[in-house]
Amino acid sequence: MKIKTRGEWICVVIALIIVIMACLWCIDISVSAMLAGGVLSNGFLLNNPAQMYHIGIYGIILSTMLLSFICIHIIVDVLDKKKE
């Protein structure tokens, strides 16, 4: 599937920002649980705070990579249109 319109790009960026916020929430609750020496009661399916922490970190890394690729794509697209 190729994304062609600006609205589709905006929807993808908004979805990635929502994923980043969810990952930050995972990191927040995991660090709080690790500092308190407890388990997670509001993790997705895991109660181990160390595993949730790493899932949050991996999600942040993946989302920022995807947002970087989108920015590069938009910059290249704008530069190509200026050449015409």
How far apart are alpha carbons 84 and 62 in whole angstroms?
34
Express each pLDDT in 25-52 by its tens digit: 989 989 998 898 887 776 567 788 888 8
pTM of the model as a whole: 0.79
DSSP string, 20-74: HHHHHHHHHHHHHHHHHT---SSSSS---HHHHHHHHHHHHHHHHHHHHHHHHHH
> Could you state, in order of their start, the residue ranges of all structural domains in the chain?
17-83
**CA-closest candidate to residue 54, choices 35, 33, 26:** 26
pLDDT for position 1: 60
Q: What is the average per-residue pLDDT within 6-15?
A: 87
